[in-house]
Structure 1
């Protein structure tokens, strides 16, 4: 079984890829520049929900393919083994017993049980604390105990289920769990004045919802979720590395989607915002190598769109600045793991600059 990874640990992001690898695979430089290398950090990232993978195990209501709770529970006929509809639809034989799948049937009764389990997860009896600090059981007029959500436990549970489903490409399941999580956090925001932690959680979850929509091909919805994520993250202190990283990544993803939709000016605007945030981080944390790599990546994105817009000089300046940053970057022993990433980004940048210089030489020879 794949060990679940907290989605708020940056190394676990499913959509980051090395631009140099994309370029070597024959992808156009414009498309390659849309892909960030894995954005790791030297700080120890923590899930804002306090998620620990050891707290969550597979159970009888789980799909054995995606390892998340069943979504659109579906039964294989004739063996009667149960999976998520999206997961089992990729198979002709049952993954558990190997029997030929003659047909698939929805199991609405089981799914209803799963949904009730999710709805009730982490709901506990909340004590009422009076003015003297003494607790007493809260009851309504019908003498029934009042139950409420424990947002941190429930949020961690929903995010864990969503992340398992996302990694198995069951994006509808992931989106459903994340939507519930976002709604829980929004409910909590209406009940408290201390909102900084909730803003951080909501910004992260909305960004993950954007990832789901992007993976499903719904770029408009993805942009909306990423923009909402940015809205909440910008309300938080700008000196927190995890928050600023997540914010800059969301801005870059909006830029990528606008780039692919042909809105080059819009893409440039979001790339520049991300670059500005990352430059400020480097000023405040000059010794963090991963943040310097982030700046180089943002410079590459801005330079790529500048070149597409016909601003050749600005593009060259951006590529050259990024190259200088990476060539002058000296890694400490504990940062040695960043060296492959540094080299791959550097190779990509040099390739872009060499291509530009070759184009200029060819143009001068022709004239």
Structure 2
């Protein structure tokens, strides 16, 4: 008996686009690499259809990050790498060559394997975009998209007639890495606001309309100033305070409000590279993150970063002292309601990483610190 034919249709205004319409097979399973990608039996939930699993020919990559975290030196940098937990959105700030890109490319390795449903969603979006390689039935790797900072708003959000997915939708269920964040056009950055809040992006044209899933982890990176060396002990930065302010002001307040962690990465010295204590290995970080994620999912049915307000109040209840701390921080820093909820979500994740049943004051204080200076 032949395998079933899978038909996925994406409605684009009055046009119905067939995203995936081919028999599923199991012929490619034997050729899969073993490590570090998970073996085929772990890719999908029990009871899923047999599928052909191949690697994407798009810019989605399977990140091999065995020693990415262990190469980080220094207590502050190692702690930062331990707290950057997808799907919490992260902004990395540091001088050139400080490890921002290395950490960003390692983060997808902390995400669990795609479920069958997630793989179907990713494959459908890429099929509509026309980025599937001929003969590929299903994408198994979480997308890692890294558009250049010259990308237009249409390139990020999508466009055309009928509208096709852009980089934002193509990063669904994966990671969207925006290096040199302030260098992106303002219009392009503002296109991130809806998907970061709603988990989807809507593209409207004169004759058509399309809504694509866009639930991704945003990892952004930027220099502290135009020259890149503000705060460097070498004192080689010649940027004025006004110039630095204008540079950082290219990223709007509403977008910054949607980012959970602001992580500064201090410059690395030669002595640290050769003599400093190594950070945790990727395996250790993955194990810690997987454990914390499983606890969160078992408790609420989803990871902490995606909890609604009602769920958040149930799982991140604060005592009187913590409530006072959050209130004082909100008044002093001018935190919005959205920012307060994101602080609480991050505090819940930090508590899970530490194996704590409740959110303590020091968990909340650390989460507030990452909102301000990266802790």
Q: Could you tell me the TM-score, scaled by structure 1's length? A: 0.30
**As a proportion of its length, which structure holds more helix?**
1
**As a proportion of its length, which structure holds more strand?**
2
Greater Rg over alpha carbons, structure: 1
Q: Could you tell me the TM-score, scaled by structure 2's length? A: 0.30
